[in-house]
Copies of this chain bind each other. A is one copy, B any other.
Amino acid sequence: MEHLPGGVLADLFVLLLAAKIGDEIFKRIGQPPLVGEILAGVIVGPGLLGWYDLNEGTVLFAEIGVVFLLFRVGLQTRLADLLRVGPQAGAVGALGIVLPFVGGIGLGAVFGLPTEVAVFVAAAMVATSVGITSEVLIGVNALGTRSGRVILGAAVIDDVLAMIILAVAMGIAAGGVDLGRIGLLLLVAIAFIVIVVAGGTGVLRRRPSLLTEPVFAQTPFLPGVIIMLGLAALASAIGLAALIGAFLAGMIVGESSERHALEEEVAPVAAFFTPFFFGAIGAQIDLAGLLDPAALTLLLAVTAVAVATKFLGSFAGALSMGARRAVLVGWGMVPRGEVGIVVAGLGLQIGVIGGSIYSVVVAMAIATTLIVPPLVPGLVRWAESPSTGRGRDLDREPAEAR
């Protein structure tokens, strides 16, 4: 076996330790631990102290981290519950994409950015981070609330739409948009989701003990994880985020009769991997690149537009649930995270946007992620508590949401 540089192990050690110290401090001061983990990643990361590198090891652990996070979320999400909130989630996802995109284009005009740059910045502003949003909802035990499900469903839907917008942006950058190719992308993505979910849950509903039928599997854990890796790789291969495949895998495997044993075994694995995801998000930031006043101005403008447009679009889409819940949903959709950073990284890679715009977009993604969690607990109580008169809709499942 090739000997790995001890450096990768040391990087993983530093990143995990830093994230957990951030977690510890933020828990002690009563703030969202997720924010502490991201800030710890900023501090020890390449942009500041440089105590670890973003290399193939840490990036892989970060990606597997969000894959396991979404797998766990999928386990706690029943297809029927998600379908029940389908119309609202669709409206929230669509309106929550359109407004930020238009806002991003407008911002580009104000700042005099070339069209292809403006389109890329706008594309990086559209998608809500499913990973961040899920962790925030888990943290306040709200994954099973009606608003929680709408946010989760909308975040998944807007990832699919963001993929389409990214394809358009890449087309514009390459000099022309191929509508046929984009239509095909959309078709493949929708077909993947429908076939996987309908087929998978169907098979497991008919045979709920399927996952423990192999001799090697005393529990459904390893068969479930194999399905998770397979669907994550497949989603990635057709251009979707790997975490979408992992979420679908969780929903399917969650139909298993041994679902609770599975959740108990997935919990430590997810606890091990997810800090790498949050820590590595913080490590993306380039603080030196933001010291320039022009960059700082652009950052403030991009962040303000990103927050306002996503909030208003999602709020409008969720209004049929009542104003309070619409506020919670709108706010919960604000965090960008991995998706915005991936889009910006792609723009940097193909040379459409420069290092300075990249830093701005990454900082925007992190800023939207940091401001959301502190307000969520209060909003959840305000919007979802029985005193709002909607107690019967509060179909929370306390035994599962942990």
Interface residues, chain A, with chain B CB atoms under 8 Å away: 1-4, 6, 8-10, 12-13, 16-17, 20, 23-24, 27-28, 33, 54, 56-57, 59-60, 62-63, 67, 214-217, 221-223, 225-226, 229-230, 232-233, 236-237, 242, 265-269, 271-272, 280-281, 284, 338, 341-342, 345-346
Contact = CB atoms under 8 A, between A and B. Distances in A.
Contact of A3 (B17, B265, B345): B345
Given A9-B242, A222-B20, A342-B3, A216 B268 contact: no
Contacts of A229: 9, 12-13, 16-17
Given A13-B233, A24-B215, A3 B346 contact: yes
Contacts of A67: 9
8 contacts: A1-B280, A4-B63, A16-B222, A17-B229, A20-B217, A27-B215, A222-B271, A268-B268
A342 B236 contact: no
B345 A6 contact: no
Given A1-B281, A221-B271, A226-B13, A24 B216 contact: yes
Interface of A is mostly: helix
A233 B16 contact: no
B216 A342 contact: no
A237 B10 contact: yes
A341 B10 CA distance: 22
A193 to B, nearest CB: 17
Contacts of A266: 268
A2 B24 CA distance: 28
Contacts of A27: 215-216
